[in-house]
Chains A and B, each alone.
Chain A
Amino acid sequence: MMEREFVCIICPNGCRIKVEYEGINIKSIKGDECPKGKDYVKNEITNPLRVFTGSVLVGNGDFSLASVKTSVPIPKKYLKKIGEITRQLKVESPIKIGQVLASNLLDNNIDLIATRKIIEKNL
């Protein structure tokens, strides 16, 4: 039986919620003050999602790297693998913020979108 205290991040209250769980089965939740908090910790135990952020190489840009993020939060367990893939990527400038730089990664509908604007600068 595992016990863990989460700091809920849904609203600035930052409730401390204690959860007892085994694997992905939740035994008890204490300290939540609204249903959002309960949902948050439930998700954290059963299916935590995260936004991945990283960088890809850019050719001929005013920056050497374009910072990227996944368009939606993805299962936490994919973070490292997406990181590995991102390191292999290379794109060309110019790049707009929000532009999709890689799509359907891991065959799981995971897209990487640009978070830095890159202007073309020819050498």
Chain B
Amino acid sequence: MAILTQDEARTLLQKVLAFSKADECQAQISGREGGNIRYARNAVSTSGQLSSTQLVVTSSFGKKQGISTINEYDDASLAKVVRRSEDLARLAPENPEYMPFVGPQSYQPAATTFIPATANINSKLRADLTEQSLKIAKEAKVTAAGFLENTAGFSAMLNSHGLFAYNTATDVNFSVTLRTDDGTGSGYASRGYNDVSLLDVQKSTQVAAWKAAKSVEAKAIEPGKYTVILEPAAGIVLMENLYGALDARSADEGRSFLSLPGGKTRLGEKLVDEQVTIYSDPWHEKLPTRNYDGEGLPQIKRTWIEKGVVKNLFYSRYWAQKKGVQPIPYPDGFVMSGGNLSLEDMIKGTEKGILVTRLWYIRSVDPQTLLYTGLTRDGTFYIENGQIKFPIKNFRFNESPIIMLNNLEQLGYPERTISGESNSAALIPPMKIRDFTFTSLSDAV
């Protein structure tokens, strides 16, 4: 029963609420079916399949709240889980920041986030796709390590104020790293979609194979400030630390890069280059997401940064009430606008610069300036006179996405990419940036 229909979910949740004696009660159920395959050393390694569900019941008495869960669905189990959450609520300390549950909402019709073909992926298809990738690796005489994962899931919620929401979604993610057998060259590619028919495992593997072969005999160049072209898979890991930190409360409290002296914030101010526009849109054709958030608030199309100016920050329901504004939920997907140029066009238009395939091990160095460190990985090349000239050794960088987006030269055509750090998806353009700060060399390939 891992995936319930809307009617099945509503019926079950109504049954749960019927057991409630609390001031407020909310029941959420979710389930997923998923499978994955890993390969390395040009052969399959581990592979598995998972099926699971979960019912979460939250009960409140005044400002006291308790949460409990179960994954059995007979009447006695449902009664038990409700009673447990009520017992816990009675024991819990009062939370002065407690917010009552959200009442009934009207949502705009949901985008198509569930694709049957993706939900139907089985172990045979996973093995077939892996076989295609391995064939390319073997022909190119390089060694492949890769990962393919598919999931199909649903979630639904119902509360004692009558709010009901339901959605289903599918996902398939693929990534591959090809290395030359002597370990001196490495190339990477990754892709993720709701719809498996868009996934071209062979094309991604070919890109990675090309980079692996071309990155052999990398030259060491001096650390310093360079013009870089960040491919979307490299850009996303810095961008997610910018748009993920657009939080009103920490800005208002003075402990964010958005804070200004005297309790002011950068909301409404120009933060980065005017080429930068970042928005979220649950109905985006390439990145469709849920039309409500985890508390049941509607998700709508919303601009966060427009032409470099901070337009919106996330407001939790508590903070919004305190500040007298509407709550703004955190969206499930971000889109960064760009131009029409392809990555190839951008390379052609670059006199001197560095092409970065991927950035790795990204960690906050200073939250005050949003300074991050990390390294280049799996395909770093020197560009001269519009051409990729030679591979270079990997660098460590210390850079802030704020500084980086003030040194923005050009944006290319945005594409859906997956963060190698958080595994989340976004639409990010290739970015050409001047004076990107590399602070040391790494021997890693």
Is chain B a partner of chain A in the same complex? no
Residues on B lying within 8 angstroms of A by beta carbon are none
